[in-house]
Each structure stands twice: as structure tokens, then as C-alpha cells.
Amino acid sequence: MSAKVVPPAPWPVEPWAIREPHLDLEELARTESVFALSNGHLGLRGNLDEGEPRGISGTYVNGFHESFPLEYGESGYGFAEDGQSLVDVQDGKVIHLMLEDEPVDVLRGEVLAHERVLDFKTGTLDRAMHYRSTYGREVKITTRRLVSFTQRSTAAILYEIEAVSGPMRIALQSNLMANVPAQSGTKDPRKGKDLGDVLEPRLARGFELRAVLAHTTRNSKMTCAAGMEHVILSDASNLHTAIYVEDDLGRATLSCQIKPGRPFRFVKFMAYHWSSRQSPEFLRDQVTASLANATAEGWEGLLRDQRTFLDRFWEKADIELEGDEAVQQALRFSLFHLLQAGARIEGRAIAAKGLTGPGYDGHAFWDTETFVLPWMTYVMPEVVRHALLWRHSILPQARERAHMLGMGGATMPWRTIHGEECSGYWPAGSAALHVNGDVADAVRRYIDATHDDAFAAAEGGELLVETARLWISAGTYDHAGNFRIDGVTGPDEYSALVDNNVFTNLGAQSNLRAAADTAARLPELVETMEITDDEIAAWRKASDAMYLPYDERLGVHPQDQGFLLHDPWDFGGTPADCYPLLLNYPYFQLYRRQVLKQADLVLGIHLHGDQFTPEQKRRDFDYYEGLTVRDSSLSACTQAIVAAEVGHLDLAYDYLREAAFVDLHDLHHNTSDGLHIASLAGAVLGITNGFGGMRDSGGRLRFSPRLPTDVPSIRFAVTVRGARLRVSVDQERARYELETGDELTFEHWGEEVRVVNGTPLERPTPAVEDLPRPKQPPGREPARRDG
């Protein structure tokens, strides 16, 4: 990533779509991620309909993975043993086309015009191509692809071809293929593992224009069944159809005569179901039923339902930013992909890349709870509940992991699909106990925002209790009576195995308080979890005594107890092409210097700001600005939020733009492996929590809005306990209007206010202070909007 320059926009700027006006074969892998479609359960990368050329093939079903043993040159007790990787399942996107005896191939023929559009309002990927073959046969092809939000297991493609140069016979081969080669190996740890052909055939059936294949993974023994069905929408001359199936291939062939002015149209429906317990035959029947439902609804019915679903989403989720059309487009791109990542997870995780690519092996990390769920809590609380139910479902593995590490309660994994810790690097994975606090914070926020007491008394309360029990066993009291947590790793991956990481301790403190408060008001939880009065008292005592180190000499909080004893990194002597540092320097050197891959203590200021004074926040932010290189996509958004809070509004805007453009401009040069879902969420939080000043720690909803001079106004909505509040901010005032619900009480710049439905409330916003801009490491400054 070049920190100084945001490349020119590769897409025309428009408010409700991402448009690729011509085909760029050099950027296929990147655009496949940008144009990915998903509903949280089923995901299709934006591969070309012909299947080739491609960057990385990808069709994913949430949770479907292969397992493999993690290998160590020298192993040790407690090392993670189980690797897991998302599997590219049967690919039903491919439709080959022959013009007489010539294949449509963009590498051989002439592409006279080509456009793809990701439409945020229809939820479709639309493609139009004007193509001329080597022998002059000319056709226009249009396709429209969707992954249904309303029929969870279903995707569909509307395909149309029209002759331009004259009559011709065409043959369409619509395929369903397993074990499609995905990508080549790499040493970049952020990319996914190439497992090769892991799908073993179990079943292959064909009937008329329908095919169903079922495959089982070799090691994890999961079975996925996939099917396709075809419905022809137009009359065709001399139409011939055939179906063919073998172990790894189902193929429907449509051959007919076409002529100018008489396009040939058909719809391809696809369905996917998987299980680790059900038989291939049982899954086949589920696929057949889903295909029957989809064909009964028809293409127009699916499209109508898709539009209706998205209309409802945008009514409650849209964010408006006046004065910067490119950022407005990027924000809606972010919102759309956040919806796609979570809409139909239903008990599964939201992975770091969603279902847009193989990056990070399809694992879920702590950044879901820290960046994605905070936004979703106030827009899609039902999705947050499902995400937390997934966390609850892996409690058995987390308890077992804690026991292996010699601790009580549960130790949440740093990265996983199925629940086991999958990080083969101990300092970054097993030592990152802050994940427990991150999960607890998401539970606490959801309960506060929804008052879902049924969840609090059951799964949510169980998560709070078991994560709290971990802290009691992991911490200890020193001679001064401080509760300290030693030998841990915080969010910043350029430090490891440190004592009293402030972010970790803040999360533990909040976790312990939330567990104690929840147990105190829910006797049924106390009974179920066998919580004693002494245990609740121990949680409160540890929370009150939590050690948060502070350096009086510098007037800042050290990231951890020993951080300020290290020498700063030699930023001036680091060449620009040696970033990211993790790919060019040994961790031995990184761990011994003051250098941050990503915001760490500053993230603590954002999430636990009530533990800092305003002056401490500003001094801490300014100090760590000079040490943070943003080698992680998770950093810019946090720096944007806290920069806005402490008064650096222009700097906050620069960081917001970086977070918003991370994938549209490929700032980290790895969008090809999938989108950065947490960074997209962070860009949204840059508006709501940054310029909107929204905070919710301590169970209190608060707004402290103000805008940089370049932003005339913003508008967004949050839903709290069923009441939807519309927040509008301009350069002088904030307006609060209740759209649903009767009334809502919250704070505006420290003043408690109450809004009732039908009576908007306005309050002034303070003037922006004229503060000196803090310095970043040389060459790592965010790009300024003005150049």
C-alpha cells in the first residue's frame, strides 16, 4: 500500500452501482472480488460466465471446509493442531458458448464492447458484451446474475444471446463442475491455502435439463450437493437439448438457430445444500426441492423479491454524505457487501472475507465482533444474534482449549471456521486473549440495544460468563492490589507476549462487569451456569482493580507495560517498498521496537472511551500516530473515528476515505483474495461513530457529532429497541428524528435529551478546533483529499 497516494478511481463514480466500462484482463482476480454476490450462506465470485479466463474461481457455502493437520518444524504442548480452509464447491456459474464451430473466448475473439454493473438496488451483477469471433460471427450477450436473499440456497442467471452479423447455429454448454483449479501457491500468510482436489464424488444424477452432483471432503467428511435447472424463455428454431453427468461434471447442452432481432433467452437456476451428518441422497432431495421452488417463483419472481428485500434494507441502512460522490459510492458499496456477508448466515460465522474469496482460508476473526457487528447491531440486529449464536455453538471447543491452556472458562479462537484454534503461530493466535473481550463486548452491545432478555438469560449470558471465567484464571493480583494479565498479544501484531496490554485489560474489565451485571439481574442464568455470589464478587473485584498502565513522564498510556521501553522503529531508514513490514522483516526485530501494524491502544479509546479523559485521548492519539504504519486494513477506520473525537476532523476524513477505498482502489494489493469486510464496516463506522460521534459503552447511547469543513452534511439511522432514529448533521447543528417507536432517550454532547415520534429535536454542534496535525511515520501518511 502506498500511504501517500490513493490511485485514480478505476470505476465511474455513480451513487448506486459499481460499473466496469470495459474488460480489463489484467485485473480479473480483483474485479471477481468486487463483483462477488452473496447472501451470507452462498457466495459466487464475479467470474466471467465463460469460466475462462479467470483469476480465482470461487463458489462458497458458509461453513463448508476441509481440515488438515498444521505442520510444525518443532511442535509443543498446546500448539493448535487443526487447520481448516474454505472449499470452492461445485461451480454452476459456467456457461460455454459456441458460434457454429467457434468458442466465445475473449482471449481469441474481438470484444467490441463490454460492461459489468454491480447494482446495489437490484442486487444483481449485469453483464453486456458485443463480441466478434475470429471468422466474423458477431453476437450480443447479456447476462444477469443474482444470489437470492429470500431463497437462501438459490442463485440464478438470466442469459440472452442475439445474433448481429446474421443467422447462425449456437451451442450453449451450461456446466456444474467440481474440483475447479482455484489458485497457485503463495507464501503470503494472508492468502488462502490451495488444497487441490478435495471433493470426492458421491452422487451424480441428470434428468431433462437438471443435474445434481454431491461431493464429500476427504478429511472433514462434509458433503455438499449442488444442482442446476434450466428454463427456456423464448422460442428457438431447431432447438436440441441434452443432459450429461459424470463424477465431477453436470452439463446441459442447448443448441439452436438464432438470427438478428430474435434473441434466445433462458434462466439457469442453482441450489446448494451441505451437511456433515445427512446422506448425499437426502441432500440431493433438498437441492431438488430448492430448484423446484426457484423455478416456480421464476426469474421475475426472484428479482421482484430481491428488489423488495433491498428496498427495506436501504430504508434503514443508507448513509448519505454530501460533497464527495466517490466516498458516497464507496459507502454504499460497503453497506451492500456487509449485507451480503451477513444477511442469511443463520448460525454461521461472518468471515474476514465474507464469501468473496479464499483469503485467510475463509476464517472468522475477532474483527467481526469489533468492526462488523457494532454497525449491524443498530441496523440488522437479527443478523448479530445469529453471529453470536455461532460463537455460542463453538463454546465446547473454546472450553476444551482453555482447559488445555490451563485456564478456566472458555478461550475463543483467534481464527477458525468450525471452532478450533487454527492459528499455527502461537504469539498471534493463542496469546490473543483479547478475543474473549471482543466477543463479550458484542454480546453486551446487542443486549443493550435490543433488550433481548431471552438471549441474555441463555446463549448470551453463557458467553459472558464463560469468557469472564477465563479472565479470572488468566489474571493475577500484584503486591499493590492491581489485577494484571500477563503474556498476551493485543490487536497490534507487531507486538506479542506482553504484560498488561491496555486494550486487552479494558476488554477484560468490561467483560467482567457485564457478566456480573447480567448475572445479578437474571436468576435463571445464575442457576443454569451455577454462578455463586462469591464468583460474582470476584468478577467485580477484578474489574475494579484492573491494571491500566500510564506513563506520567510522557503523559500517555503505554500500549502495554513495557512498550515505551523499546526504541522506536527506524522509519526513516525503511524503504517504501518494504511495506508491509511483516513480509520484509523478522518478527524478532518488530517485537523489539515501537512500531504498530494497526491501531491498538487507540482502538481501546474508541471502544472503551469512558476510561480515558479527553486530554488523555488526544495525547495518546497523537503519540501513536507517529508509530502506526497501517499494514493492516483494520487500522485506518479506527484512526478515523478517534481522530474525529479528539478534534482532527480533516485527518479523520483522510482516514475515512482510505478505509472506504481499501477494495475499490485495492490499497493493500490483495483485494483479489476477497474483500476486507471489517474495513468496509469500519468505513461505515467512520461516519456513524466518527463524524456522528456515536458511542454505546456503559449501556448509554451517546452522540457527539461534528463535521470537517469539506463535508456539508451527513445522514444515517440507528435502531434501538425497535425505535429507528434518523440523525442528520450539518456544519452547525444536529437533527434527531424518530421514524419508528414512541420515544428514545440518549445524550447529545453530554446533555441528556429525549425525542418523541413526530417531534424532531435540533441541537447545536461545537465549532471545530484548529489543532496542529499530528505526524505519521515518513511515507505512511494518509492521502489528503486535496492531493
Report the catalytic residues: 493
CA distance 476 to 486: 9
* Cα separation values, 364 from 67, 400, 540, 623, Å: 15, 19, 31, 31
Q: What 3-state class would DSSP assign to 408?
A: coil
Q: How far is Cα of residue 44 from the mean position of the Cα atoms in its chain? A: 15
CA distance 555 to 621: 12
- In 10 A of CB 143, how many CB atoms? 21
| Contact between 256 and 233 (Cβ < 8 Å) | no
β partners of residue 210: 207
- Report cis status (omega within 30 of 0) of the bond before 705: no
Sign of CA dihedral 12, 13, 15, 18: positive
| Contact between 415 and 359 (Cβ < 8 Å) | no
Query: Which of 30, 359, 55, 417 minimizes the C-alpha distance to 191?
Result: 359
Burial letters 744-779, b for 16+ CB under 10 A, else e: bebebbeeeeebeeeeeeeeebeebeeeeebebbee
Q: What are phi and psi of 282, to 5 degrees?
A: -65, -40
- Report cis status (omega within 30 of 0) of the bond before 53: yes
CA distance 467 to 409: 6
Query: At 533, which amino acid appears?
Result: D
CA angle centred on 266, ends 261 and 268, rounded to 5°: 155
**C-alpha count within 13 angstroms, C-beta hemisphere, residue 198:** 24
Specify the residue for cell string 430448484.
Answer: 291
How would you write 92-129 as a 3-class SS string? CCCEEEEECCEECCCCCCEEEEEEEEEECCCCEEEEEE
| Contact between 680 and 663 (Cβ < 8 Å) | yes
Quick one: 2 exposed, middle or buried, by C-beta within 10 A (0-12, 13-18, 19+)? Answer: middle
**Assigned C-alpha cell, 400:** 476444551
Burial letters 445-473, b for 16+ CB under 10 A, else e: bbbbbbebbebbbbbbbbbbbbbbbbbbe
Quick one: 101 exposed, middle or buried, by C-beta within 10 A (0-12, 13-18, 19+)? Answer: exposed
β partners of residue 328: none
